[in-house]
Amino acid sequence: MTLSKSWVASANSAEHPFPLNNLPYGVFSVDGSEPHCGVAIGDMILDVTLAETEGLIDLSDEPLFDLPFWNPLMEQGPAVWAALRNRLTTLLAEGSQGRDAVERLLVAQADAEMHMPIAVSEYTDFYSGRHHAQNVGTMFRGSENALPPNWPHMPIGYNGRASSVVVSGTEIRRPWGQLKSPDHDRPAFLPSRRFDIELEVGAIVGTPSEGPVSVQQAYDMIFGYVLLNDWSARDIQAWEYQPLGPFQSKATATSISPWIVTKAALEPFRCNTPAREVELLDHLRDCGPMLYDIDLEITMAPRSKQATTIARTNYKQMYFSAAQQLAHHATSGCPMNTGDLLGSGTISGPNKSERGSLLELSWGGKEPLTLDSGEIRSFIEDGDTLTLKGTSKGKGYTIGFGDCTGTVLPALEDPFAR
């Protein structure tokens, strides 16, 4: 597939993340106005809420874009998703007869404030990156026992906090928690000293389910994808995770990028999961290419200083696809809801430069990083800004997600003050 031309000139650059081929969905406001649903096209945002009000978009007897999130459209299913994409393409394509009516509904992205694009129903985070799991297991249990026996057979995950999922740009407060030093008999209640990130891709469930679903059905249920940063307090995690896994160490915040990139936009970049170490059970077997070739990177910027790219990797490193994660999640019969968010798990590659967390990059603090500013980091310090970026490169065009950024604030002096 090659670049599709738009009458919005900025969308026709080979390097711009929001060409006509992309059309990602977000929620925005301008100058304190009510948030509206919008689609990114070049440097602009088309106000989809107003476009529906004025009859330029008509997909249902009931309004789909009168609320400041995309859930009402998501629950309509793939046929309506495709109808919207076709209509937007018609309105924004080069030579469109509707240009005059649409042009006055464009807002400059530079003037917009971005909001959460969905109402998150529930949030589940997985542990499906082979290299990440191997690295972390090696650090804590040695290379011979790095992966638990169940890991190659099914996606491992835990249920996180939907209430603490935030949009890119939201500041992140360093958490307090129980920390246990091997030099002391009792834990202490202190601010986290080993605060970290995890580079992930989040899959958003569109159509709900009742009961188990196949991998293909799960793939069809997924509406789109966002970049996701699973902020993690490693010292809190080390003390609490046995025997039931992460809890408060993962509850501080989860940041997502502001734009939902649809499956249709990513279709040209579909690719297979890596070779299997063991044969999967029938209900989890791959039924086609279900990963995507998405280049990912992490930058780290100390307060008021230049950003350093500290890692580059690719989403195709995942061992299990989002469809397999969703299918496994539903095997118990638990309903999956419109707006459920599934974190991929940390995405790391085989090389040190491809590790998707500071825990791995600094090897638990034993191999600190030197930033371009000359500062040294093992974990995040107050004032540091972490940014995730993701793009897929086509022939003459780029599909981008928009940055997923968060700046870490100091811990509260008294977390119980009212």
What's the CA gap between 414 and 275, in Å, rounded? 50
Cis peptide before 212 (omega within 30 of 0): no
Those residues with Cβ within 8 angstroms of residue 267's Cβ, 6 or more apart along the chain or in another chain = none
Beta bridge partners of 295: 314, 391
Stated length of the chain = 418
132 in active site: yes
Q: Is the Cα torsion angle 48, 54, 58, 61 positive or negative in sign?
A: positive
What's the CA gap between 27 and 46, in Å, rounded? 11
User: Of 16, 36, 131, 132, which is the active-site residue?
Assistant: 132
- Residue 337: how many CA atoms within 13 Å on its side-chain side? 12
Q: β-strands 195-196, 232-233: how paired?
A: antiparallel
Long-range CB contacts for residues 184-187, cutoff 8 Å, separation at least 24: 187/239
What's the CA gap between 59 and 52, in Å, rounded? 9
Q: Identify the CA nearest to 345 among candidates 330, 333, 335, 360.
A: 360
Long-range CB contacts for residues 72-80, cutoff 8 Å, separation at least 24: 74/118, 74/204, 74/205, 74/206, 74/207, 74/223, 74/338, 74/339, 75/206, 75/207, 75/208, 75/338, 77/206, 77/207, 78/206, 78/207, 78/220
Cα 198 to the center of its chain, rounded Å? 10
DSSP string for residues in 244-289 = T--SGGG-S-EEE-S-BEEHHHHGGGEEPPPPPSSPPPGGG---S-
Residue 204: left if φ>0, alpha if ψ -120 to 50, beta else—which one? beta
Q: Cα Rg for the chain, rounded, in angstroms? A: 21
Give start and end residues of each alpha helix (H) in 142-196.
none
The catalytic residue positions are 132
